[in-house]
Structures are given as C-alpha cells and as structure tokens.
C-alpha cells in the first residue's frame, strides 16, 4: 500500500466521517470511497483495523461492566438516596440485564443454527 493510502487509512480510523478523513489527508471523499470499494488490500486493512478497535473497546467495556453494576447496585441499595435515584438505578440494572439476556439468547440460537447448518453440509 502506498503512502497516500496509508494516510487515508489512518485518517479513516481516527476521524468520525469519511469527509473529515478526506480533509485530514488532503484527498477527495470520492478517492477514499474508491479505496474502500475498489482496493481489496485497502479494504482488508481497513476492516481488520476497525475490528481491532471494536475488540479493544469491547474488552474495555467488559472490564468496566462489573464495576458499573456494583456502582448501580450501591446506589439502588443506599437508603439515604432519594427514591427517584434508587428507582433509576434499579431500572437501569433491569433494562440492561434484560438486554443482556436477549442478546445472549439470540447468540445461543445463532450458534445452534450454525451447528445445524454445519451438520447439513456434511
């Protein structure tokens, strides 16, 4: 990959939009979009780097999850907090707990579907 593409890749990974990335590295948006659509090496590097960033963020969130639940639980259980604060903490725990259960169930179903597909292919 040439230097211009490497600069474009770095800009894409640090800027929130393609427009800003294009400005940062001094090329047209159309050029960056072309790299993404038409250059397999560029697209692969972009996808791999994005996935690495997402994995890192996910790991950080996972590591902070227990502390966040502990904090919300403390707020919920602290009788000195007003009722609205305690209810808000409880609602947050319940809402996010339900989302976690739903996602876990969907992932389990997906795993089972994939297993069935693999058996069928054999």
> Has residue 68 been placed in a domain?
no
pLDDT of 43 strictly over 90: yes
pTM, entire model: 0.59
Q: Are residues 1 and 57 in the same domain?
A: yes
- Residue 88 is predicted with a pLDDT of 94
Number of domains making up the chain:
2
Q: Are residues 16 and 59 in the same domain?
A: yes
Q: Are residues 36 and 2 in the same domain?
A: yes
Q: Are residues 55 and 103 in the same domain?
A: no
Which residue do the tokens 């996910």 mark? 58
- Per residue in 10-25, pLDDT (tens digit) is 999 999 999 999 999 9
> Has residue 45 been placed in a domain?
yes
Q: Are residues 56 and 91 in the same domain?
A: no
Q: Are residues 12 and 50 in the same domain?
A: yes
- Per residue in 71-80, pLDDT (tens digit) is 999 999 999 9
Query: How many CA within 13 A on the CB side of residue 81?
Result: 15
Q: Which residues constitute the domain of residue 112?
A: 78-122
């Amino acid at each position: 990959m040439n230097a211009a593409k490497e600069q474009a890749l770095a800009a894409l990974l640090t800027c929130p939009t393609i427009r800003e990335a294009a400005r940062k590295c001094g090329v047209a948006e159309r050029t960056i979009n072309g790299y993404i659509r038409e250059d397999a090496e560029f697209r692969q590097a972009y996808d791999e780097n994005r996935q690495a960033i997402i994995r890192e963020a996910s790991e950080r969130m996972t590591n902070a999850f227990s502390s966040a639940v502990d904090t919300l639980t403390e707020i919920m259980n602290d009788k000195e907090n007003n009722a609205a604060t305690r209810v808000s903490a409880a609602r947050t725990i319940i809402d996010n707990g339900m989302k976690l259960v739903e996602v876990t169930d969907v992932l389990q179903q997906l795993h089972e579907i994939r297993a069935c597909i693999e058996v069928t292919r054999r």
